[in-house]
Structure 1
Amino acid sequence: GAKALALSLMVDTSVLTLDLSDNWLQGEGAAAVAEMLKENCSISAVDLSDNKLGVEGAKAFSAMLLENTTIVSLQLSGNEFDDHAAKYLADAITANSKVEVLDLSYNMFGDKAGEIFGSAVAENIGLKELKISWNHFHSQGAAALAKGLGANTFLKALDVSYNGFGNSGAAALGEALKANNVLEELNVRNNRISVAGALHIAAGLKENKTLKRLNMTRNPMQSEGCCGVLKALQANSATGIEILDLPDIPVKKELAELCDAVKMLFPNLLLRHGGNTKLQRKSPLKVELQTEPKAVGNSQNAVA
């Protein structure tokens, strides 16, 4: 099926978008589609996610990307790519300057892949959006990937959510934010970043002027980490932050006051806690209601 389709698309100039997601293409089918894309000069968006392409598929599509100059968006999530596959994909990332959106999420990349991709991202001159969430980048690989971000001058959006960056990866991201003056969106949701890591990212935010959206939800940053991030924004009058997502934690007095102060400084800033725009503060009224048995039975009072 894939071979027949590939043959028909070889010279077809009417198709601009190709969606072959979730088709179990695997090696042979992937090779046929890749060969077709070397010749086709009209398709600009390709979705090959969830096809179990593996190393052979990575090799085929990397070779294609060294020749193709029309694909702008490429979805390769969920293809069981591992560190071995990363080597081929990195070659393509380094050499190809036409692809602007690349999705490599939901794969099996580890620290070695992080090191390989870090170098490739540093050299790439075309990517504007890279999604590499739901992989296995931990301290060493995460730090290498972040270092590549620091050197990149084209990338506008980076999604590394659901990895294991930890504090060492966060420290490298903080340094990258000091150097990078292009990135506008960064998603580090669910990356095991605790207080120390949050403070490293805060140090980067203190100097960064271009980042507009930052998602730090589902990280064990605690109140201290959240306060550190907000203080960094307070100290940076030139910050570009428009949307800041912090973890959903109990809001204590210092954090609540900092939130108010930052909102006064930047009235247009959308500040959310776990996706919620309203602060979940402990209300003295609610505490009283809980300790007064008579009031508990009154549903109207309880709701108020």
Structure 2
Amino acid sequence: MEEEGSLSLSDPETNLTNVEITDDKGWDTDLESEDGNRNYDNTGKATYMEACKKGGVVPVTYFIKHMNDSNLQLRHHGLGPMGTKAVSVALVSNTNVLKLDLSDNWLGPSGGHSVCEMLKENCYITELNLSDNKLGTESAKDLSDIIQNSNTLTHITLSGNDLDDKAAEHIAEAIMNTQKLEFLDLSQNKLGEVGGVLLGPAISENSSIKEMNLSWNCIRAKGAVAVAQGIKNNVFMKKINLDWNGFGNEGAIALGDALKGNSVLEELDISNNRINTEGAVLFGKGLMVNESLKVLKIGMNPMQSAGCFAILTAVLKNPNNILHTLDFSRILVNTDFLDLLKQVQETFPELKCHHGGMEIFEMPEIKVHPMVKIDRFLEEQNLRLIDFFCRFDEDHSMSVTHEEFAQGMRDSGINMTEDDIQLLLGELDRDGDGEVNYSELVVGFKKFIEDRKKLAGVIKQMKAQTDAKYKY
């Protein structure tokens, strides 16, 4: 049902063949020709102006100036549903525009319908971009009909249009039946597991699409497996982007199996799909036998260096491998990987590999016991333990409080942390009277030195036993 006050492309008042422009009174603009001769509208300008007038929208100057460009860029113009209707009316019989970009214009379902109605009549537009227009599920049926029935449309971009699993029913039908479409972008929508289940068989049967973008959706589990199976059976598609979905290991296994059976796919992007090391190993089995893949992007997956190593190993084991680009972006690798990569590139010199750089292993901070610090300080300063103690035993009572001891440690110049000081106080004040006397310091110091000597002796003995065991 037509909205009240809206334009219909089939309405006699807005149909190109019925529009008569003979009176300019009341509609003067600085865009009109000086001679005022508009009886024959060979550009579509008069049709557009009249459609804008009837729809109550302001004409877009850019469109009027460029409406006969072969590549018409109308993105970010805020057309809205009614503005889109006016543009569509003007493009019905346009024979110059071959590529039309209407992205980010808030078309909504109504504006989407207008474009689809126009495409039923226009047989010249081959590439259409309707991304970021909030078309929603309501537009899916119209879009599906156009994709299936158009004899000229070869490229269509529908990213960012809130197309969900319900819309996938119509999209799957379009993919299965189209004979002309070569490029389809469905990225950044809301296609989930059910959507994947519906799209998989359609991909399997399609015989025209060479490139498809399903990135930034929520295809996972059974949906991921179905899409992978569709790729396995498809014999026309050259490139598919599946990044940012969530295929996981289940999807990785299915994609590995797809690579075994597919002999035409040349580029595959499965970046950021929750594929871990195990998934990478199983996916790699497909790479061992595949002879068509040229570009593999598998970065930003939690497979770590071990997973990357498994992929490289699979490539090395395939004598018929033709990969020239292997992308492990944002995955840190180790020396084992780099050594293998060198070997792989010697075998396949055309292969370019990208990764996230070397793993940086930060050595854990070695904790030095504060008694060791005191021992080193005494040796460096050539001091006796009693001389050291007397430095902060101001009343020469041979006993200091916790506060005096702590302050003495701070003032001594020894690199002592507060944790070091508290550790010493806990070990030296054995009677818990809140003070550390000289005898407690001597006993504690000697005990630590003796324990350290014993530990050194045990380590020396163990090393000797190990050397004897493995000596040839």
1:120 aligns with 2:192: no
Residue 31 of structure 1 is matched in structure 2 by 113
Residue 241 of structure 1 is matched in structure 2 by 323
Check the 8 A contact 2:335/2:358 in 1, yes or no.
Answer: no
CA offset at residue 248 of structure 1? 3.4
Code of the residue aligned with 1:90 in structure 2: it is: A
The alignment partner of 1:228 has SS state of helix
Cα separation, partners in 2 of 1:195 and 1:37, compared to 1, 3 Å: same
Code of the residue aligned with 1:263 in structure 2: it is: Q
Query: Which of 262, 276, 280 in structure 1 is aligned with 2:358?
Result: 280
Residue 271 of structure 1 is matched in structure 2 by 353
- What are the Cα deviations for residues 235-271 of structure 1, in whole angstroms up to 9, with x where unaligned? 1111110000114344323212111100111111101
1:68 aligns with 2:172: no
The alignment partner of 2:268 has SS state of strand
CA offset at residue 107 of structure 1? 0.2
Check the 8 A contact 2:98/2:125 in 1, yes or no.
Answer: yes
Check the 8 A contact 1:73/1:101 in 2, yes or no.
Answer: yes
State how far apart, in whole Å, the 2-side matches of 1:13 and 1:253 are.
60
Query: Which of 64, 68, 91 in structure 2 is aligned with 1:9?
Result: 91
Code of the residue aligned with 2:267 in structure 1: it is: E
Residue 443 of structure 2 is matched in structure 1 by none
Residue 183 of structure 1 is matched in structure 2 by 265
Residue 211 of structure 2 is matched in structure 1 by 129
Code of the residue aligned with 1:185 in structure 2: it is: E
Q: Which runs of 5+ in 1 are unaligned?
A: 288-304
- What are the Cα deviations for residues 255-288 of structure 1, in whole angstroms up to 9, with x where unaligned? 12111100111111101103xxxx53769xx99x
Alignment of 1:116-195 (within 5 A): 116-195=198-277
The alignment partner of 1:43 has SS state of coil
- What are the Cα deviations for residues 6-30 of structure 1, in whole angstroms up to 9, with x where unaligned? 1111111111011110011111111
CA offset at residue 131 of structure 1? 0.4
Check the 8 A contact 2:304/2:331 in 1, yes or no.
Answer: yes
- What are the Cα deviations for residues 21-57 of structure 1, in whole angstroms up to 9, with x where unaligned? 0011111111111011122110001000000101111
Alignment of 1:254-265 (within 5 A): 254-265=336-347
State how far apart, in whole Å, the 2-side matches of 1:71 and 1:211 are.
28
State how far apart, in whole Å, the 2-side matches of 1:89 and 1:249 are.
35
Q: TM-score, normalised by structure 1?
A: 0.89
State how far apart, in whole Å, the 2-side matches of 1:211 and 1:165 are.
19
Code of the residue aligned with 2:280 in structure 1: it is: A
Residue 223 of structure 1 is matched in structure 2 by 305
Check the 8 A contact 2:299/2:331 in 1, yes or no.
Answer: no
State how far apart, in whole Å, the 1-side matches of 2:346 and 2:296 are.
19
Check the 8 A contact 2:84/2:115 in 1, yes or no.
Answer: yes
Check the 8 A contact 2:304/2:333 in 1, yes or no.
Answer: no
1:213 aligns with 2:291: no
CA offset at residue 185 of structure 1? 0.5
Larger radius of gyration: 2
Cα separation, partners in 2 of 1:262 and 1:281, compared to 1, 3 Å: farther
Residue 51 of structure 1 is matched in structure 2 by 133
Residue 77 of structure 1 is matched in structure 2 by 159
Code of the residue aligned with 1:280 in structure 2: it is: M
Check the 8 A contact 1:187/1:214 in 2, yes or no.
Answer: yes
1:111 aligns with 2:193: yes
The alignment partner of 2:187 has SS state of coil
CA offset at residue 223 of structure 1? 1.8
Residue 297 of structure 1 is matched in structure 2 by none
Runs of 4+ in 1 over 4 A off after TM superposition: none
State how far apart, in whole Å, the 1-side matches of 2:358 and 2:171 are.
44
Check the 8 A contact 1:251/1:282 in 2, yes or no.
Answer: no
CA offset at residue 201 of structure 1? 1.5
Which gives a bigger RCO, structure 1 or 2 (Cα 8 Å, sep 6+)? Answer: 1
The alignment partner of 1:193 has SS state of coil
1:89 aligns with 2:166: no
**Alignment coverage as a number of residue pairs:** 281
Which deviates more, 6-15 or 70-79? 6-15
State how far apart, in whole Å, the 2-side matches of 1:53 and 1:250 are.
40
Q: TM-score, normalised by structure 2?
A: 0.58
Residue 458 of structure 2 is matched in structure 1 by none
State how far apart, in whole Å, the 2-side matches of 1:224 and 1:29 are.
50
State how far apart, in whole Å, the 2-side matches of 1:194 and 1:261 are.
24
- What are the Cα deviations for residues 158-204 of structure 1, in whole angstroms up to 9, with x where unaligned? 10000100000000000000000000000001000001111122100
State how far apart, in whole Å, the 2-side matches of 1:282 and 1:235 are.
29
The alignment partner of 1:66 has SS state of helix
The alignment partner of 2:313 has SS state of helix
The alignment partner of 1:232 has SS state of helix
Q: CA RMSD in A?
A: 1.5
Code of the residue aligned with 2:314 in structure 1: it is: A
Cα separation, partners in 2 of 1:108 and 1:281, compared to 1, 3 Å: closer
